Structure 1
Amino acid sequence: MRSKTNLILKYIILSLISILMIGPLLWMMTTSLKEPTRIFTQFIPNPIRWENYLEVLGQADFLKQYWNSIYIAVIVTLLVLMFASMAGYAFARIKFPGSNIIFILFLSTMMIPPEVTIIPLFLFMRDIGLINTHIPLILLPIFGAPGAFGIFLMRQFFLVIPKELEEAAIMDGCSRFRIFWRIFLPLSVPALSTLTIFTFLSNWDEFLYPLIFTNSRELMTLPVGLSLFTDETGTAWHHLMSATTLATIPILIIFFFAQQKFIEGMTAGSIK
């Protein structure tokens, strides 16, 4: 009887937590279908106004900003996966002088808030003529905290792979690159899936760098573009929530296809 009571209590607590987590998402989705004059007077939209989405999609700047976010996030994710996997393998499996010091220096970049370095980065990008381009939005995450986190994640994953696999490959005459490409990389799919989700999500939601390094609307990314729905006359909530709902689609797609490997990657370090 007591165990059943505890189980019921757990379900009640989890249900309340779920409501708190899902509540803002439901409000976003329902608001995106409301009339502009009924945003705060009803929860269930009546009538349903699909025109909100058509009006948002009809804005040329929104579609361009949506594309900018997609291609920048994809490029950054692919580059981080490539560099982080190679660097993680080097730190985990290749012993060279100063490797631990260099690794600690990489990790230290994760402890520095981006607001501290934004002014010197802006001055540097301005001096080399890269302001109002997408190049800073691609390079800075790779060599900043997202890249350092990727190196840390891949290094920790490669450390738990049995060294006997590597020794057997060396005895068979495999080079370092072939060992990495044919043995370690296929085994690291769970870690790569985890890193894909984290990297894509962090770049998809990035607001500071696009705000600082881009000036024209056609070069802005989606997070900055969403802020344009608020001006001196107020906030167009029905358009803002419609655009935000559309902005969640790529994240849901990425997580849907990588969720199984993501869970494996998150638990890979707990057992050896």
Structure 2
Amino acid sequence: MSRRAKTAVYGVLCLLALPFLFPTWWMLTSSVKPVNEVFAFPPTLWPDTFSLDAYREAFTLQPFARQYFNSMYIAALVTVGTLAVSAMAGYAFARIRFRGANVLFLVVLTGLLIPSEVTIVPLFQMFHGWGMVDTHWPLILVPVLGAPSVLATFIMRQFFLALPYELEEAGRVDGLGRFALFRRIALPLARPALGAVAIFTFLHSWNLYLEPIVFLSSAEKFTLPQALTQFVDAYGGPMWDVQLSAASMTALPVLAVFVIAQRQFIEGLAHTGVKG
């Protein structure tokens, strides 16, 4: 492709990206505007008056720093737990042959067909009986053992099925057991699948809203999606500048995780040694 053709393609792609980039740009610029400029008409692409008051108010109106930490460590634990469970379960379904394996896998996949709204009441009763309501345990255990982990297990199983058996034969000759084959051979080759699982698991946990509003009632234990709804004025109306500043800070870890995990995804594809 000639340089002129590449320039034309990049130009078209940039134009197509504008409708997706504009809402993010408007959110970021509006977060540093006075509230009277947020809905000015015609809208401005850059603030006439630059102000960080909304960012300061986000931390003074409620314990936003604590809520930020809550979402961060919950999403990290859920991501690590889901990676561990789905990698081992996916490898077992792909490599270990036992009677009823396919039937059991279909039973596991039925977890994807059940909406979370259907199970939320039984889950609340179960965690209430265990004394875990208004704690973060439900927000950690439900995603790791629920539908997100089922989807991750499916992805990992499909990836391990595509790995040639010959890659593990050398390990068997050296006397490696099943778990050693998984840890030393299969798992390093699974970096592309692990990267994909890490991305959607972190995003799912970070944006989780239904479970926090059901299980949490203390403001210092809120996660960010729940906390964003609490920035209201004395009449119950939204404080748009504060909400936009809090939303801008909420989006930063998502972008960082996506960039890091995407890099791992591409590097893993380049070093798997598997073609086709």
How far did 1:58 drift? 3.7
How far did 1:15 drift? 3.8
- Structure 1 counterpart of 2:189: 187
CA–CA separation in structure 1 for the residues paired with 2:136 and 2:121: 17
Matched, 1:248 2:247: no
1:181-222 per-position Cα deviation (integer Å, ceiling 9, x unaligned): 110111111211111111001100000000100011111100
Matched, 1:262 2:265: yes
- Structure 1 counterpart of 2:179: 177
- Structure 2 counterpart of 1:29, one-letter code: L
- Structure 1 counterpart of 2:19: 20
How far did 1:172 drift? 1.8
Task: Decide whether aligned partners of structure 1 residues 214 and 34 sit closer, same or farther in structure 2, where only a CA change above 3 A counts.
Answer: same
The answer to whether the 8 Å contact 2:79/2:198 transfers is yes
Matched, 1:224 2:226: yes
Task: Decide whether aligned partners of structure 1 residues 8 and 190 sit closer, same or farther in structure 2, where only a CA change above 3 A counts.
Answer: closer
1:14-43 per-position Cα deviation (integer Å, ceiling 9, x unaligned): 344311111110110011010012211144
- Structure 2 counterpart of 1:55: 57
CA–CA separation in structure 1 for the residues paired with 2:194 and 2:220: 32
Counterparts in 2 of 1:35-184, with a 5 A limit?
Answer: 35-41=34-40, 42-184=44-186
How far did 1:128 drift? 2.0
- Structure 1 counterpart of 2:240: 237
- Structure 2 counterpart of 1:23, one-letter code: F
- State the secondary structure of the residue aligned to 2:48: coil
CA–CA separation in structure 1 for the residues paired with 2:255 and 2:5: 34
The answer to whether the 8 Å contact 2:64/2:227 transfers is yes
- State the secondary structure of the residue aligned to 1:234: coil
How far did 1:249 drift? 1.2
Task: Decide whether aligned partners of structure 1 residues 77 and 92 sit closer, same or farther in structure 2, where only a CA change above 3 A counts.
Answer: same
- State the secondary structure of the residue aligned to 2:159: helix
CA–CA separation in structure 2 for the residues paired with 1:141 and 1:54: 33
The answer to whether the 8 Å contact 2:62/2:219 transfers is no
- Structure 2 counterpart of 1:17, one-letter code: L
- Structure 2 counterpart of 1:61, one-letter code: P
How far did 1:107 drift? 1.4
Deviates more, 1:20-29 or 1:227-236: 227-236
How far did 1:67 drift? 0.6
Deviates more, 1:116-125 or 1:146-155: 116-125
Task: Decide whether aligned partners of structure 1 residues 150 and 266 sit closer, same or farther in structure 2, where only a CA change above 3 A counts.
Answer: farther
- Structure 1 counterpart of 2:240, one-letter code: W
- Structure 1 counterpart of 2:217: 215
How far did 1:120 drift? 1.3
How far did 1:59 drift? 4.4
CA–CA separation in structure 1 for the residues paired with 2:76 and 2:3: 48
- State the secondary structure of the residue aligned to 1:230: coil
Gaps of 5+ in 2: none
How many pairs are equivalent?
269
Gaps of 5+ in 1: none
The answer to whether the 8 Å contact 2:91/2:157 transfers is yes
